[in-house]
Amino acid sequence: MSDDELIWRIAGGSGDGIDSTSQNFAKALMRSGLNVFTHRHYPSRIRGGHTYVEIRAAEHEVQSRGDGYNFLLALGDSFARNPQEEAYYGNEEIKPLSENLDELREGGVIIYDEGLVSEDDVEALNLDERAEENDWHVFPLDLRGLAKEHGREVMRNTAGVGATAALLDMDLEHIEDLMSDAMGGDVLEANLDILHEAYEDVNEEYEFEHDLRVPTGEHDTEQALLSGSNAIAYGAIDAGCRFIAGYPMTPWTDVFTILSQNFPDMGGISEQVEDEIAAAALAVGASHAGVKAMSGSSGGGFALMSEPLGLAEMTETPLVLVESMRAGPSTGMPTKPEQADLEHVLYTSQGDSQRVVFAPGNIEEAYEQTRLAFDIAWDYQIPVMLIYDQKLSGENKNVDVEFFDREPSPDLGSTLTEEELKEAAHDNSGKFKRFNYEDAEDGVAPRSLPGQKNGRYLATGNEHSPVGHISEDPDNRVAQMDRRLEKLEAIRTELNEERDSTQTYFGEEDAEYGIITWGSSQGAVEEAVDRLNADGHSVRGLSVSDMMPFPEQEVTAFLESVDEAMVVEMNASAQFRGLLQKELGRFGEKLTSLLKYNGNPFEPAEIVEGYEVNVAEEEREPTAQVRIEPAAGD
């Protein structure tokens, strides 16, 4: 926990405009020179329900949501269905205030909208008493009244932002600029009035006794604020992907939406279809016809894609699928993150099926690994999957704009032109030997596309001969299977020898203790490792992105270099630890697990505590809602 950071939480009901308000506030903080990181918590409903967005802002790098928070703007839930306390869900109106108090740090600041929540309800919370105990500074403001007076009630968010800026001694310039970009006319005028009025009212009416102020910083280069879903969509665009098919499902819908909005202007095609079976099958069909195509879903929708995925593998159709995990099983908790679909993604589909799977750990990796996914899929004619989760999907972080200044790579990889097809091997009847195992390099037999001269062949999910005819000949079967399996080894070799490692390391090189994680838990682990080392421990962190083919050499070297290691992941059955042991066949006695599956992502302090309980062998249980799994034999 550091004192030089702001973690601002804006809480309200779904439909209260929390998202857009927080997005602009995060941008304002970024423009002022700070590094920002956002975390989004919301229920699976359209209106009402307790929702919040947290914005962490600091001069230093921020890789996670941080621990707790120090500024609450509680708007109250204006769509509350059950304002009576005795109602089943309790008093929803006040939840944006009442539900958020436990995680507020000492010395924190609270603004709540007294225009919406009733005095009696606030009294029932014992807020005064708790404020005194925790040195909280509470500002009941009539945000609704102010908004109504100068504009419309929905503009109370703006009043809250104005009050926040006053209390943090924050310049309004960037906020005004962003408002002017987003709106115009009377709406802009009203919002600007409300912003200034709230700002001035607070400054005039209150003596500030709190210490919290907005941090200051400076960026050397221009920054952009974007989410993991933006990064995946932009990686796809730069890889030359121009076809997406999908069916809505949280949280995957974000990637689908971003590409659907951008594709029409860039000659691309987006198709929303009847179900996820169709979605994946369309991506296969478009790829078969010569277009760089993708699809995706979340766990339940991906379950339907198992068969088209297998078809792509057997017919060697290049394909990229993304899977944005949410808490399961079945419908689970639709808007909460979890990393529990790893085995689902690795092992679904019948037979000796094989695919490549990457798990990006942050927004930059999401972009880079999406591009890598397309490169590999089209070079090796194999499905490549990106597995990420609700957390990475929706969190925003500032990234150096120049990071994206790269050449596009629309190349179709191992696809032949008509010129090349003339020279390629054909059978006696003139059929192209599409699946020729005799000259295949790294298991790859170059492909043709429908409509090309001299390229016709049959693609089939049955085992097939070099020209694609259905075949159950044993020699052909073994030759084709061996050729297909060879690709994964070749891809591993390429990743080891020709590409920058997608694994990320942090902390000390010769540490005694290791913390291993994967996917979006990376940022929290990185901060935890830094903190532990600053406290005098000896810890090295590794975040693995290559799930398949597994980076055996790198992970083995890491595990050999440490005495013990803790595997951190957001699921209940230690799936990644299972993968480590399956792939490496040892280290069982070295590996413990820190598991979290309550619907909220890890905070760094929980990992620090997990280390303390696990390694420093403190005689206590963790205070956080996590579970520790001992090493084999313990």
Nearer to other proteins, 134 or 460 (CB): 460
The correct pick among 9, 27, 105, 344 for binding other proteins (CB under 8 A) is 27
The correct pick among 60, 213, 406, 477 for binding other proteins (CB under 8 A) is 406
Shortest reach from residue 546's CB to other proteins, in Å: 24
Evaluate whether 5 touches 62 at the Cβ level (below 8 Å).
yes
Evaluate whether 103 touches 69 at the Cβ level (below 8 Å).
yes
Angle (nearest 5°) at CA 490 between 484 and 495: 135
Part of the chain binding other proteins (CB under 8 A), chosen from 42-50, 328-336, 438-446, 464-472: 464-472
For residue 420, give the H/E element and its range: helix 418-423
The contact pattern for other proteins, residues 260-299, with x = CB under 8 A and - = no contact, is: --xxxxxxxxxx-xxx-xxx-xxxxxx-xxxxxx------
**Which residues 364-393 are close enough to bind other proteins by CB under 8 A?**
367
Nearer to other proteins, 349 or 600 (CB): 349
Size of residue set near other proteins by CB under 8 A: 82
**Which residues 557-586 are close enough to bind other proteins by CB under 8 A?**
none
Could you give phi then psi for residue 325, rounded to 5 degrees?
-75, 145
Nearer to other proteins, 268 or 610 (CB): 268
Evaluate whether 360 touches 228 at the Cβ level (below 8 Å).
yes
Neighbouring residues of 174: CB distance < 8 A, sequence distance ≥ 6: 27, 28, 29, 31, 32
Shortest reach from residue 243's CB to other proteins, in Å: 6
**Which residues 77-96 are close enough to bind other proteins by CB under 8 A?**
none
Nearer to other proteins, 201 or 307 (CB): 307
Shortest reach from residue 375's CB to other proteins, in Å: 14
Asked if omega into 450 is within 30° of 0 (cis), the reply is no
Part of the chain binding other proteins (CB under 8 A), chosen from 38-46, 85-93, 439-447, 462-470: 462-470
The correct pick among 48, 235, 541, 601 for binding other proteins (CB under 8 A) is 235
Shortest reach from residue 515's CB to other proteins, in Å: 32
Shortest reach from residue 319's CB to other proteins, in Å: 11
Shortest reach from residue 114's CB to other proteins, in Å: 35
| Signed CA dihedral, 282, 287, 290, 292: sign only | positive
Question: Measured between alpha carbons, how far is residue 85 from residues 78, 80, 92 in Å?
Answer: 16, 12, 8
In eight-state DSSP terms, residue 504 is E
Neighbouring residues of 406: CB distance < 8 A, sequence distance ≥ 6: 238
Shortest reach from residue 406's CB to other proteins, in Å: 7
The yes or no reply on residue 247 touching other proteins (CB under 8 A) is no
Part of the chain binding other proteins (CB under 8 A), chosen from 74-82, 97-105, 229-237, 589-597: 229-237
The yes or no reply on residue 308 touching other proteins (CB under 8 A) is yes
d(CA 29, CA 435): 55
Nearer to other proteins, 186 or 405 (CB): 405
Shortest reach from residue 269's CB to other proteins, in Å: 6
Part of the chain binding other proteins (CB under 8 A), chosen from 104-112, 153-161, 336-344, 451-459: 451-459
Nearer to other proteins, 248 or 630 (CB): 248
Task: Tell me the CB-side half-sphere exposure of residue 561, using CA atoms within 13 A.
Answer: 19
Q: Closest Cα to residue 496, out of 436, 553, 558?
A: 553
Question: Measured between alpha carbons, how far is residue 465 from residues 282, 434, 436 in Å?
Answer: 25, 9, 8
**Which residues 468-507 are close enough to bind other proteins by CB under 8 A?**
468-470
Nearer to other proteins, 78 or 396 (CB): 396
Nearer to other proteins, 194 or 249 (CB): 249
Shortest reach from residue 465's CB to other proteins, in Å: 9
d(CA 410, CA 460): 26
Shortest reach from residue 489's CB to other proteins, in Å: 27
**Which residues 205-224 are close enough to bind other proteins by CB under 8 A?**
222-224
Nearer to other proteins, 463 or 583 (CB): 463
**Which residues 311-350 are close enough to bind other proteins by CB under 8 A?**
311, 315
**Which residues 408-437 are close enough to bind other proteins by CB under 8 A?**
408, 410, 412, 417-418, 427-431
- How would you list the strands of the sheet with 356-358, edge to edge? 269-272, 243-246, 293-297, 319-325, 383-389, 356-358, 546-548
Shortest reach from residue 479's CB to other proteins, in Å: 17
For residue 328, give the H/E element and its range: none
The yes or no reply on residue 29 touching other proteins (CB under 8 A) is no
The correct pick among 118, 460, 533, 573 for binding other proteins (CB under 8 A) is 460
Task: Give the residues across from 40 on adjacent strands.
Answer: 53
The yes or no reply on residue 451 touching other proteins (CB under 8 A) is yes
Nearer to other proteins, 141 or 293 (CB): 293
Nearer to other proteins, 152 or 406 (CB): 406
25: which 2 tokens?
Answer: 């506030």
Question: Measured between alpha carbons, how far is residue 14 from residues 71, 76, 106, 506 in Å?
Answer: 20, 11, 28, 37
Nearer to other proteins, 460 or 533 (CB): 460
> E-strand spans in 165-246?
223-227, 243-246
d(CA 456, CA 434): 8
Shortest reach from residue 187's CB to other proteins, in Å: 19
The yes or no reply on residue 459 touching other proteins (CB under 8 A) is yes
The yes or no reply on residue 535 touching other proteins (CB under 8 A) is no
4: which 2 tokens?
Answer: 């030089």
- How would you list the strands of the sheet with 223-227, edge to edge? 137-141, 104-113, 69-76, 5-14, 48-58, 35-41, 396-400, 223-227
Per-residue buried b or exposed e for 329-363, using 16+ beta carbons within 10 Å of the residue's own CB: eeebbbbbbbbbbbebbbebbeeebbbbbbbbbbb
The correct pick among 242, 344, 492, 596 for binding other proteins (CB under 8 A) is 242
